[in-house]
Chains A and B, each alone.
Chain A
Amino acid sequence: MVERLDTMYQRLLSRKILVAVIIVVLAVAAPHIANTYTISLLIEVLIFSIFAMSLNLLVGYTGLPSFGHAAFFGLGAYIIAYISGVNDLTLSFTNNILLTLPIVIIGTGIIALIVGSLALRTDGIYFLMITLAFAQMLFSVAMRWSAVTGGSDGLIGIPRPEIDLGVWKYSFESRTAFYYFVVTTFVAIYFGLHNIIHSPFGLALKGIKSNQMRMQALGYKTLHYKIGVFVLAGVIAGIAGMLLAQFYWHASPENLYWTMSGQALIMVILGGVGTLIGPVIGATLMRLLPNITSTYTNNWQSYMGIMLIVFVLCAPNGIMGILLKKLKNNQ
C-alpha cells in the first residue's frame, strides 16, 4: 500500500517535473519563436497574473472580499512613475531596479499597512465597501491633483528598468529583455507564494477563511494575520502595477479605477478561487479573449458577463475547480 503510494507519487512528481521543464523551455524560447505581438500579450498576461494572484491571497486564501485592490496596483504604477519617470512632473531620481523595487515595495507596504489596519477591523460587506472607497479616493486624488499626478492624462515617460551595480549596468529596454525581467519576477512571486501558502502562515490564512473564531480559540490573533496578508497582497499588486507602468511607459488613473479591481476579481473567480494557478488562467483568458473577440464583436463584455454568470452558478470553483474534478475522476 505504502509502496504503491510511493510509486504513484514518484510518477506524479516526474510528470510534474516534465511539465515544469517544458514550461521553462517554452518561456525561455518564446521571444525567439513567437512574434513581437505575442510577446507583448504574454508580458501583459504575466503582469495581470501577478496582480490576480495577489488578490487571490485575500479573496481565495483568507476569504477577504477586497473590491479595491486596484488601489495598490495603481499605487505601484504611480510610485515608479514618480521616481523614475522622465517628464516635468516627476522626480526622475533613479531607474535602478535595485533602488526602485524596494521603494515600490516599502511605499505600497506602508499604505497597505495603514489601510489594512483600519479596514480589517470590519468584515464582509463593510470590508468590501472600505476597500472600494479607499481605491476610489486614490482614483479621485490621481484625477484631481494634476500638479503631481498629471490628472486624467496620467504620468508619462516611465523607462524600462535597469540594473546598475556601479561597475556593471544592464537595461531591460528591449522588449525581449523586459519580457525576461517580467518572467523572472513572475516565477519568483509564484514560487514565493507557493511557499507562503504551504507554510504555517498560509495554513493560518486558510483557517481564518474557514472559521475565524475557531482560529482565535486556538490562540491565533487573527487580525495580525489578516493585516500581514493584506500588506503582502498590496505589495505584490504594487509590483504588478510597477511592471505594467514600465511596460506601457505610462501610469494612468484607470489603473486605480474600480473597473480594474473588478477585472482582477473576475480573473480570480473565473480561474479558480483559492488555487495558485487559477488566477493565472483567469488572467490569461481575461486579457486574451477580448483581444481575439473584439476583432469580431464590440459586445465582448456582454459575452464575458454571461460567461461569468454561468461560471458562478455552475462552476463556483472556476476553471481550476473543473480541471481538478476531472483529474480526480480519472484517477
Chain B
Amino acid sequence: MMLVVEDIDTYYGKSHVLQGVSLKVMESEIVALLGRNGAGKSTLVKSIIGRQPASIGDIYFCGNNITNLASHRIARLGIGALNQGRSIFPTLTTLENIMIGYKNRHNQQWDLDNILGIFPALAGRLNHLGWQLSGGEQQMVAIARALMTNPKMLVLDEPSEGLAPLILNEIGKTISLMCQLGISVMLVEQNVPFALQLVDRVYVMNKGRISFDGHTNMLKENTALLHRYLGI
C-alpha cells in the first residue's frame, strides 16, 4: 500500500472542508480523484502534502504516518506534488528548473540524460526561462523536476488545465509511463474523459466527502452519478 488516507477531517479556519475522507493508492497504480469545483479535491491534496494538515484521522505513506509532517519532510519521503496551474519557476531556465529537483540523495535514480530521454522536446529549450515555455513544455518541466526528487508517488493537480488536445495526449502518455516505471500517480482532475482513459480506479468527491469509489468501468456505467457529481 503506497498511500492510505484514513477518515480525515480538515478545516480551513472554522469551515469544515473535508469530512471523513478515506482513500488508498496502491503501488504502480494510477488513481483519479474527480469532482466539481469546490468539492474539496485541492484541500485533500493539501492535507496529503502537508500544506493543510488534517485535524482528525491519519495519513500513511509507505507505512509512515505523515499526517502532521512538514511538507518538505513529506516530499523527502517520496511524494512529488505538482500544484494546480503551471508549477514551474518562471524566472529560472529549463535546466535550472529541472536540476533544482536534484538534491544528491542516496541512490539517485534520475539524471538529466534519462529525463531528456523521456522529454526529448526539452533538450533544445534548456536555456530558455520558464515563462518563455509553452504550456505543455511547462507541464513537462514540472514533471521532470518532480522525477528528479526520486518520487514513489506523484500527485498531479489538474495537469490538463489549459492544454491543447494534442499536448494533452503527450501528457497522458507520460502519466502512463510513470506507472510503468513503478511510480504511483494520483491524478486530480476536472477533465473527466481525460482522466477516465488513463486510470483503473476512481474516487469522486462531493461537498467534502467521497461519494464514489470504484473501478473506472463502474463509473462509466453509472450515468446518474456522472451527471449528478461531474456534470456529464
B-contacting residues of A (Cβ < 8 Å)?
200, 203-204, 206-207, 209-211, 213-222
Please determine whether B89 and A210 come into contact, CB atoms closer than 8 angstroms.
yes
Residues of A close to B145: CB separation below 8 A: 218
Please determine whether A218 and B75 come into contact, CB atoms closer than 8 angstroms.
yes
Q: Which of B95-103, B181-189, B202-210 participates in binding chain A?
A: B95-103
B39 close to A (CB within 8 Å): no
Residues of A close to B146: CB separation below 8 A: 218
CB pairs A–B below 8 angstroms (11 shown): A200-B102, A203-B92, A203-B99, A207-B89, A207-B100, A215-B100, A216-B70, A216-B72, A216-B75, A218-B72, A221-B72
| Proximity string of chain B (58-82) to chain A, C-beta cutoff 8 Å, 1 when within and 0 when not | 0000000000001110011000110
Please determine whether A216 and B71 come into contact, CB atoms closer than 8 angstroms.
yes
Mostly, the A contact residues are helix
- B86 to chain A minimum Cβ distance, whole angstroms, is 11
Closest to B87 in A: A214
Given contacts A213-B51, A213-B71, contact A218 B89 (CB under 8 A): no
Query: Which residues B42-56 have CB closer than 8 A to chain A?
Result: 49, 51
Bound Cα distance from A218 to B51, whole angstroms: 13
Closest to A207 in B: B100
Please determine whether B71 and A210 come into contact, CB atoms closer than 8 angstroms.
no
B135 close to A (CB within 8 Å): no
Residues of B close to A217: CB separation below 8 A: 49, 71-72, 75, 80-81, 83
B149 close to A (CB within 8 Å): yes
Closest to B130 in A: A210
Bound Cα distance from A65 to B89, whole angstroms: 20
Residues of A close to B92: CB separation below 8 A: 203, 206-207, 210
Please determine whether A218 and B100 come into contact, CB atoms closer than 8 angstroms.
yes
Query: Which residues B74-133 have CB closer than 8 A to chain A?
Result: 75-76, 80-81, 83, 87, 89-92, 96, 99-104
Residues of A close to B101: CB separation below 8 A: 218
Other than A203-B99, A218-B100, give 5 A-B pairs with Cβ distance below 8 A.
Answer: A203-B92, A213-B51, A217-B75, A218-B101, A219-B76
Q: How many A-B residue pairs have CB under 8 A?
A: 62
Given contacts A213-B51, A219-B76, contact A206 B89 (CB under 8 A): yes
Size class of the B contact interface (CB-based, 8 Å): 20 to 34
Given contacts A206-B96, A207-B100, contact A220 B72 (CB under 8 A): yes
Bound Cα distance from A115 to B219, whole angstroms: 56
Query: Which residues B112-164 have CB closer than 8 A to chain A?
Result: 145-146, 149
Residues of A close to B91: CB separation below 8 A: 206, 209-210
- A200 to chain B minimum Cβ distance, whole angstroms, is 7
Residues of B close to A213: CB separation below 8 A: 51, 71, 83
- B146 to chain A minimum Cβ distance, whole angstroms, is 8
Bound Cα distance from A207 to B93, whole angstroms: 11
Please determine whether A219 and B72 come into contact, CB atoms closer than 8 angstroms.
yes
Bound Cα distance from A216 to B76, whole angstroms: 9
Bound Cα distance from A293 to B146, whole angstroms: 54
Please determine whether B89 and A200 come into contact, CB atoms closer than 8 angstroms.
no
Residues of B close to A214: CB separation below 8 A: 83, 87, 89
Bound Cα distance from A222 to B75, whole angstroms: 13
Interface centre among A211, A216, A219 (most CB of B within 10 A): A219
Among candidates A200, A210, A222, residue contacting B103 with C-beta atoms closer than 8 Å: A200
Residues of B close to A216: CB separation below 8 A: 70-72, 75
Bound Cα distance from A219 to B74, whole angstroms: 7
Interface centre among A204, A217, A220 (most CB of B within 10 A): A217
Query: Which residues B170-211 have CB closer than 8 A to chain A?
Result: none
Residues of B close to A220: CB separation below 8 A: 72, 75, 103
Residues of A close to B96: CB separation below 8 A: 203, 206
Interface centre among B72, B96, B149 (most CB of A within 10 A): B72
Please determine whether B103 and A219 come into contact, CB atoms closer than 8 angstroms.
yes
Residues of A close to B104: CB separation below 8 A: 200
Among candidates B51, B75, B83, residue contacting A219 with C-beta atoms closer than 8 Å: B75
- A35 to chain B minimum Cβ distance, whole angstroms, is 43
- A294 to chain B minimum Cβ distance, whole angstroms, is 38
- A5 to chain B minimum Cβ distance, whole angstroms, is 10
Bound Cα distance from A191 to B72, whole angstroms: 31
Bound Cα distance from A222 to B99, whole angstroms: 17
Residues of B close to A221: CB separation below 8 A: 70, 72
Closest to B124 in A: A1
Residues of A close to B71: CB separation below 8 A: 213, 216-217
Query: Which residues B12-61 have CB closer than 8 A to chain A?
Result: 49, 51
Residues of A close to B76: CB separation below 8 A: 219
Bound Cα distance from A207 to B90, whole angstroms: 10
Please determine whether A210 and B90 come into contact, CB atoms closer than 8 angstroms.
yes
Closest to A210 in B: B89
Closest to B142 in A: A214
The 4 closest A-B pairs by CB, nearest first: A219-B75, A210-B89, A219-B76, A216-B71
Bound Cα distance from A207 to B92, whole angstroms: 8
Residues of A close to B49: CB separation below 8 A: 217
Interface centre among B81, B87, B96, B100 (most CB of A within 10 A): B100
